Structure 1
Amino acid sequence: MQGDVSEKVRVKRVVDGDTIELENGNKVRYIGIDTQELDSSNESVQCYGEEAQKANIDLVLGKIIRMEKDVTDKDRFGRLLRYVWVLDNKDGGDYELFVNDTLVRKGYAKVATYPPDIKYSELFLQGERYAKEKSLGLWSECVNGIDGKVEDLPKLIFEFLNLDY
């Protein structure tokens, strides 16, 4: 059932900006978000892929997380699909930080909604609007995953078409 069971486990490895590996060997893909890809099969790293991975490392690596399932248990690659929270004791207080939302709100991830797993999609959309308005993360550094700022778009188009700018 959706959201009824919380699982707590330690993160062993961060695969990329939206995927982690747990101590028990399971891989977890964050629901509702998507980060730029890292180098796969000798292709170049997409804009902000490394920054997203580093942010994810800083948030969860070696820490105990709480996971919540939505409707779908696993993706086609066998990864668990989960919402993830980590205990954050900044400023002397203890509270849970919603990792999926934090990555979107700080501009490390885009919203990627795949029904029926939509429990927090409105929250993620609000976070993405905030990141765009503030030009945070990939919203200041990338144009659709390509290195470069939005104001550089005309130049990028000319370069793509092999024309002089």
Structure 2
Amino acid sequence: MKIRGQSYATFKIVCVLLLLLILGCQPKTTPQGKTVKVTRVVSGNTLEVIGLEAQRNFNARVRLIGVDAPDLQQQPWGQTAKQQLEKIVQGSNVLLEFDVQQKDRFGRYQAYVWHDKVLLNEWLVAQGYVLAVARNPNDKYTQQLTRAQESARLMERGIWNPSQPMRLTPAEFRRS
């Protein structure tokens, strides 16, 4: 006779292993894009970079495609997402990979951000620092981001931690 808790834990482990197997079978593509230097991390999903515009010293804002970070006022998640992104990219070079629509309605560039061959959009989702949000027409990595979020949720990482869950999505928080 199995105890319900043990069965659930085994189920979670099997799900994560299957997810990793599926992710491992995905073809790896070499991203193409523009290398820039990060000058500032604005939030968990927005960077300021130089080297993107014709004027090399001009700061341009870049929003990570496919993710929605907790608002900076959503404690502790907004600051945590920003700090984790800062640890990785502050002052370093990153590769920006653009999709169909290069700028959003606010004039910010939209990109997938790569650092040391790691897709940071996906990494932030997988760690539970941000939510995966599909944004058409920019959907090149939507499936990867969705799978990363499911893994974070199953592993109860970050905003999915049941002892301190994020109760409002960033969009709901901004509306409240």
| TM-score (norm. length: structure 1) | 0.75
Q: How far off is 1:142 after superposition?
A: 2.0
Take 1:6 and 1:61, find their aligned partners in 2: how far apart are those partners?
19
User: SS state of the match for residue 127, structure 1?
Assistant: helix
- Provide, for residues 77-134 of structure 1, a one-character-per-residue CA deviation record: whole Å limited to 9, x for no partner: 11100000012xxxxxxxx111000000000010111111110000000000000000
Find out whether 1:13 has 2:40 as its counterpart. Answer: yes
- Equivalent residue, structure 1, for 2:86: 57
* 1:127-146 superposed matches below 5 A: 127-140=148-161, 141-145=164-168
Distance across 1 between alignment mates of 2:71 and 2:31:
31
- 1:32-63 deviation per Cα after TM superposition (whole angstroms, max 9, x unaligned): 01110114xxxxx3550010000110121111
Q: Name the SS of the counterpart of 1:142 in structure 2.
A: coil
Counterparts in 2 of 1:135 and 1:4: CA distance versus 1, 3 Å: closer
Aligned length: 131
Contact 1:69 1:82 in 2 (8 A): yes
More strand by share: 1
Q: Match of 1:97?
A: 118
Q: Which amino acid aligns with 2:153?
A: K
Q: Residue 95 of structure 2 corresponds to which residue in structure 1?
A: 66
Distance (whole Å) between structure 2 residues aligned to residue 143 and residue 52 of structure 1: 12
- Of all paired residues, the percent bearing the same amino acid is 32
Q: Which residue is 2:114 aligned to?
A: 85
Letter in 2 for 1:82: A
CA contact (8 A) 1:47 1:145 kept: no
Structure 1 gap ranges (5+): 40-44, 88-95, 147-165
Any conservation in 1 of the 2:125–2:131 contact (CA below 8 Å)?
Answer: yes
What is the identity, as a one-letter code, of the residue corresponding to 1:120? Answer: Y
Q: Give unpaired runs (5+ residues) of structure 2.
A: 1-29, 51-57, 170-176
Aligned ranges 1:27-46 → 2 under 5 Å: 27-39=61-73, 45-46=74-75
Please provide the CA RMSD for this pair.
1.8
Greater helix share, 1 or 2? 2
SS of 1:14's equivalent? strand
TM-score (norm 2): 0.70
CA distance in 2: counterparts of 1:144 and 1:34, whole angstroms: 14
